[in-house]
Amino acid sequence: MDCKIAKAIHSKYHPVALIWSDVKPEAAMQFQERKWGCVMWLMANAAKGKSSACDIKTFGCVGAGVGLGFGNQYKNFPGGENGFCHFLSSGNATREGGMAVAEQIKPFMRPEAYDNFLHGERYIKTPKLVERFIECLPMMEIPTNYVVFKPLQDVNLSSEKPQTVIFFADPDQLSALTVLANYGRGSNENVIIPYAAGCQTIGIYPYREAISENPRAVVGLTDISARVYIRKQLGDNLMSFAVPLSLYEEMEQNVSGSFLERHSWKDVVDGQRKDMSVK
């Protein structure tokens, strides 16, 4: 499946199709059952040309379980949902029962993760506000066994239907994608940046948009922890741009005749090339 958008914005990486499926692609990368892993690794794998997949037992971390549509996995966090609320905020070290849970899980956790469990990631001010964060998430349970990440060029539309098409974009490309998402709408708020985990901005938020009357694109990788992992795989200065399929098709049709064929965008692209040549 060709992508005019990727060519027009000079994307370094393949756009990634997120597909709900009951079949896992042959040789797809997948985490081991019940083992920790960051879903952004699977995404990066697909962006570099190889399919990956996860299911209810191999989504890597509870945030990804929530983010990809496997229900409220925060209930399965050490210490339950309350343990997660403290983990994302002030930590479990001073919470009643928190140290007992910490001692149980310490042998199975990386030092950094254990420190975060004790002292908190501090991404939200208080555990109470994390409760509100969870309440606001558009959680759902997908109707299939797998979430598959596949290079868009390998998708066969006669047998596969992407839920979302995801781009990895630098600031210039993000600007172009944002303009293109608004280009044919007659309104100017067709891209959103919710506060959420990196996996939630490619999963449940675009899922929600896909069933709305006017689906919007979702910018992600504002998740600082996810940025650490994606940097190791794809490099610096990238954001994710997740587009529900109907909006993707609209944007794809609008490439021809748009600003992407005009001198302002070409000046931006030429400027990037000059900067790279200087380096």
pLDDT along the chain (279 residues), means of 10: 93 96 91 88 94 94 94 95 96 94 91 92 97 97 96 90 96 97 95 96 97 96 92 93 97 96 92 58
Closest CA to 259 of 144, 182, 198, 168: 182
Dist CA 18 CA 98 (whole Å): 37
Name residue 164's beta-bridge partners.
18, 244
**Tokens 């956790």 sit at which residue?**
109
Strand order in the sheet with 191-192: 52-54, 146-151, 16-21, 162-169, 239-244, 217-220, 191-192
First to last CA, the chain: 34
Instruction: Return mean pLDDT, the chain.
Output: 93
pTM above 0.85, yes or no: yes
pLDDT in the model for residue 278: 42
Dist CA 72 CA 141 (whole Å): 9
Whether 220 and 202 have beta carbons less than 8 Å apart is answered as yes
pLDDT in the model for residue 272: 67
pLDDT in the model for residue 35: 84
pLDDT in the model for residue 273: 64
